[in-house]
Amino acid sequence: MLVAIKESNMKNKGGRPTIMTEITIKKLDEAFSMGFSDSEACLYANISKQTLYNHSKDDKEFVDRKEELKNHPRILAKRNIYNSLKENKKIEDSKWYLERRAKKEFGNNMDLTTDGNELQPVLVKFIDDKNKDNNNTE
């Protein structure tokens, strides 16, 4: 996860010592891999946002890596959802997934109950579509 610091950044050209040390970069990598925003990562690494932005201007590889790391929690979450769907076979997990990934077909705004009996979302959609067809032909 550690982003390599270029040799030129490690040499002090006079003035203040660099804040973007290997330890700081490692903290930023860790923060971004947990999905932190730029502001949160700066707080975590104890640097200012301006320091982060200045470093980003100087090191384009760092910017690419930062964006990759920010996607890490999404990848983990997707893997967990997939594993849950695959292994647990819990209907609640499947419903949750479909309500979010196929909103038009399985969205929360559908009435999934009739007289206390739960209907399959596909059946509800089928019934709604049939009712629309019947209303249009009358």
Per-residue three-class SS string for the chain: CCCCCCHHHHCCCCCCCCCCCHHHHHHHHHHHHCCCCHHHHHHHHCCCHHHHHHHHHHCHHHHHHHHHHHCHHHHHHHHHHHHHHHHHCCHHHHHHHHHHHCHHHHCCCCCCEECCEECCHHHHHHHHHHHHHHHHHC
- Share the mean pLDDT of the chain: 78
Predicted pLDDT at 3 = 47
Q: Which domain holds residue 51?
A: 7-70
Please indicate, yes or no, whether residues 60 and 110 belong to a single structural domain of this protein.
no
Predicted pLDDT at 78 = 84
Please indicate, yes or no, whether residues 108 and 64 belong to a single structural domain of this protein.
no
Judge whether 56 lies within some domain: yes
Whether the Cβ atoms of residue 41 and residue 52 lie closer than 8 Å to each other: yes
Answer with the one of 55, 70, 85 that is the final residue of a domain.
Answer: 70
Please indicate, yes or no, whether residues 65 and 111 belong to a single structural domain of this protein.
no
Look-up: residue for tokens 């009996």?
117
Judge whether 34 lies within some domain: yes
Please indicate, yes or no, whether residues 59 and 114 belong to a single structural domain of this protein.
no
Overall domain count for the chain: 2
Reported confidence tier of residue 5, pLDDT bands at 50, 70, 90: very low
Task: State how far the Cα of 9 lies from the Cα of 26, in Å rounded to an integer.
Answer: 15
As a whole number, mean pLDDT of residues 45-57 equals 95
Per-residue pLDDT for 136 more than 70?
no
| Contact residues for 106 (Cβ-Cβ < 8 A; gap 6+) | 95, 98, 99, 121
Predicted pLDDT at 133 = 66
Please indicate, yes or no, whether residues 60 and 113 belong to a single structural domain of this protein.
no
Please indicate, yes or no, whether residues 64 and 20 belong to a single structural domain of this protein.
yes
Predicted pLDDT at 8 = 44
Per-residue pLDDT for 89 more than 50?
yes
Predicted pLDDT at 66 = 95
Judge whether 63 lies within some domain: yes
Judge whether 129 lies within some domain: yes
Per-residue pLDDT for 82 more than 60?
yes
Please indicate, yes or no, whether residues 112 and 58 belong to a single structural domain of this protein.
no
As a whole number, mean pLDDT of residues 80-99 equals 79
Please indicate, yes or no, whether residues 19 and 66 belong to a single structural domain of this protein.
yes
| Contact residues for 36 (Cβ-Cβ < 8 A; gap 6+) | 44, 70
Predicted pLDDT at 102 = 80
Which of 24-33, 67-76, 96-105 shows the lowest per-residue confidence on average (mean pLDDT)? 96-105
Higher pLDDT, 104 or 122: 104
